[in-house]
Amino acid sequence: MVSYRPQIYNEDIPNERERLLQSHNVNGFIGVSDKGSDHVKRFVAMCTAIMLIAVLATACGGKNETNSSPSASQPNASETAASSGAAKKDITLTYIASQDWIKDAEMELAKKFEEKTGIHIDYQIIPADQYFNVLKTKLNSGEGPDLFGGQSGKSEISLNYNAEKNAVDLSDQEWVKREDPLSIDQLSLNGKVYAQTIWDTSNSYVLVYNKKIFADQGLSVPTTYAGLKEAALKIQKAGITPIYEPVADGWHHVLWFAEPGPQYDKLQPNLYNDLNANKANFETSAPMITSLTQLKEMYDLGFFGDNALSDTFADTANQMATGKFAMALMTQDLPQQIEKINPELKATDFGFFVIPLADNQFYYVNPGGPSKFVYSGGKHIEEAKQYLSFLAEPDNLQYLLDNTPTFSNLNFAGLKDKYTDEQKKLHETYPVKGTDIQDYVNYVNPQWMDMGKDIVGMFGGAMQPVDVLKSIDKRRSDMAKIAKDEGWNK
């Protein structure tokens, strides 16, 4: 019997009955004109029909008191949509990020999210060497995007992004409980979580080497800097460039110095903690001076080739696929990328070893990575949270993992990893692990791009290794004082 109701008014449209009654009143219910008379007749007829249907509906309902209430048995359209998740919104979320942070699979997920919710994600990708300046300008002007990307790390999110002011507290989100606690810690300030990291935090940057080239030259995996230097010289003599190093992006070459941090802490006991307490500095750290000196020597000897300053990170797989380079400092998915580009080179033709500067043999780990922040001044905060929740759904995480060549695992529990035999061998070869310097020592990660500029200056002869370290100390001191760090404000 209820199916007849739409003939008079559509109950699926909230307040439709009231709208119709009001429209009749406004259009001349009171008056003696022919037009008014017609409206009166229509209105009386409508009221009569309403009462008739009400009686019939009651009769149909019988003695079931629950069904006698339309609100109990017939939820309106908005209630139905809310319970089924079918309601769609015509909203666009703007998300800015640095290049290489947004994977193709995430963009595909964004399309699915839009199909499901009507919420469109407008990705605005900024070149890495410009990104932080663009982001800071937007945040400082109070005109931030709905979502913004940033590297995790306590000092990073505090100083570079002022997360407590510019980002929304996400502590109550369901996915927080499933994300790796080490990653969550890098996103937290004063007990509150300010971002989401979905990244392969186990996939450290290691030296990916061409086994065939090594075998042809009679080389084994080096375990010291001297061994790496000897191997590179022999490879170079054979007419092959030892290492593809993309300096142009401004950030990649800093990895050579930062990743072996656990070795510095071993050679100079308690270095990490002393740096955080302002009881030590970079300038006087012998292991750090050694590492930068060795890196400078590698550049001077031409191990990175003639075009390192203009080589780009995005071209790594293509260059390695040519066979003209023997090694590259890259994530462990590189062999699969190479095989797709050049099927004659198989993923199994490549192996891995850690950066041996300062004779490092630690497997360095980074629990952080590119992260997503919801801007506190945004107009669509709840929709932005909704997108993060969507990305963190287990099926979507697995989709992202399965369809992103650079990922072998993600920092969420319960996923099926893609570790290859060579990766498993890598983990077995380096059982001793340690956290890289930028994720343990305060005020390092926020100055990453500045460190990159200093190291380029060192390559060009404008700075010496000790000058680079002095520059790092100066920036750390400035940031610590701004943060009112007790170690620097005694």
pLDDT exceeds cutoff 90 at 106:
yes
Count of CB atoms situated within 10 Å of the CB of 101: 21
Residue 402 pLDDT > 50: yes
- Among the listed residues 487, 369, 371, 489, the one whose alpha carbon sits nearest the alpha carbon of residue 438: 369
Distance CA 391, CA 372 (A): 11
Write the CB contacts of 277 (distance below 8 Å, at least 6 apart in sequence): 487
Indicate whether 420 belongs to any domain: yes
Overall number of domains in the chain? 2
**Three-class secondary structure assignment of the chain:** CHHHHHHCCCCCCCCHHHHHHHHHHHCCCCCCCHHHHHHHHHHHHHHHHHHHHHHHHHHHHCCCCCCCCHHHHCCCHHHHHHHHCCCCCCEEEEEEEECCCCCHHHHHHHHHHHHHHCEEEEEEEECHHHHHHHHHHHHHCCCCCCEEEEECCHHHHHHHCCHHHHECCCCCCHHHHCECHHHHHCCEECCEECCEECCCCCCCCEEEEEHHHHHHCCCCCCCCHHHHHHHHHHHHHCCCEEEECCCCCCCHHHHHHHCCHHHHHHHCCCHHHHHHCCCCCCCCCHHHHHHHHHHHHHHHCCCCCCCCCCCCHHHHHHHHHCCCEEEEEECCCHHHHHHHHCCCCCHHHEEEECCCHHHCCCEEECCCCEEEEEECCCCCHHHHHHHHHHHCCHHHHHHHHHCCCCCCCCCECCCCCCCCHHHHHHHHHCCCEEECHHHCCCCCHHHHHHHHHHHHHHHHCCCCHHHHHHHHHHHHHHHHHHCCCHHHCC
pLDDT of res. 25: 33
Domain that holds residue 381: 91-202+367-424
Q: What is the CA radius of gyration of the chain?
A: 31
Per-residue pLDDT tens digits for 174-218: 999 999 998 999 899 999 999 999 999 888 999 999 999 999 999
The CATH number of whichever domain residue 126 belongs to comes to 3.40.190.10
CB 192 within 8 A of CB 169: yes
Judge if 300 and 227 occupy the same domain.
yes
Judge whether residue 78 has pLDDT over 90: no
pLDDT mean over 351-362: 98
Banded model confidence at residue 279, pLDDT cuts 50, 70, 90? very high
Are 198 and 244 members of one domain?
A: no
Q: Is the model's pLDDT at 29 over the cut of 90?
A: no
Percentage of the residues of the chain whose pLDDT score is greater than 90: 74
Using pLDDT thresholds of 50, 70 and 90, give the confidence band for residue 426: very high
What pTM was computed for the model? Answer: 0.69
> 172 with 245, same domain?
no
Asked if residue 326 belongs to a domain, the reply is: yes
Is residue 261 within 8 A of residue 204, CB to CB? The reply is: no
pLDDT of res. 86: 54
* Same domain (yes/no): 332, 469: yes
Q: For residue 35, is pLDDT > 70?
A: no
- Which residues, including other chains, have CB under 8 Å from residue 77's CB and lie 6 or more apart? 12, 13, 14
Amino acid at 379: K
- The confidence band for 449, taking pLDDT boundaries of 50, 70 and 90, is very high
Note whether 378 and 322 are same-domain residues. no
Residue 439's pLDDT band, with cuts at 50, 70 and 90, is: confident
Mean pLDDT over 69-93 rounds to 50
Domain match, 192 and 172 both: yes
Q: Token pair of 308, please?
A: 């390192």
**In this structure, what token pair is assigned to residue 230?**
């000897």
331 and 452 both lie in a single domain: yes
What are φ and ψ of residue 353, in 5° steps? Answer: -155, 160
Q: Answer whether residue 31 is part of any domain.
A: no
- 356 and 229 co-located in one domain: yes
36 pLDDT higher than 80: no
Q: Does some domain include residue 42?
A: no
State whether 221 and 188 are in the same domain.
Answer: no
Split at pLDDT 50, 70, 90, the class of 396 is very high
* Single-letter code of the amino acid located at 62: G
pLDDT for the residue 114: 97
Single residue among 376, 393, 424 that ends a domain in this structure? 424
pLDDT at 164 over 70: yes
Place of tokens 């080179």: 345
Q: In this structure, is residue 58 part of a structural domain?
A: no
The yes-or-no verdict on residue 24 having pLDDT over 90 is no
Do residues 242 and 360 both lie within one domain?
Answer: yes
- One-letter amino acid at 115 equals E
Mean pLDDT (the chain) is 85
pLDDT at 490: 66
pLDDT at position 66 is 32
Asked if residue 369 lies in contact with residue 199, where contact means CB atoms within 8 angstroms, the answer is yes
Residues 256, 191 share a domain:
no
Least confident range of 36-45, 243-252, 285-294: 36-45
In degrees, rounded to 5, the angle at the alpha carbon of residue 198 between the alpha carbons of residues 85 and 258 is 165
Residue 230 near residue 416 (C-beta atoms within 8 A): no
Q: Is residue 48 part of a domain?
A: no
Within a domain: residue 182?
yes
In a domain, 348, yes or no: yes
Whether residues 158 and 245 fall in one domain = no
**Model confidence band, residue 153 (pLDDT cutoffs 50, 70, 90):** confident
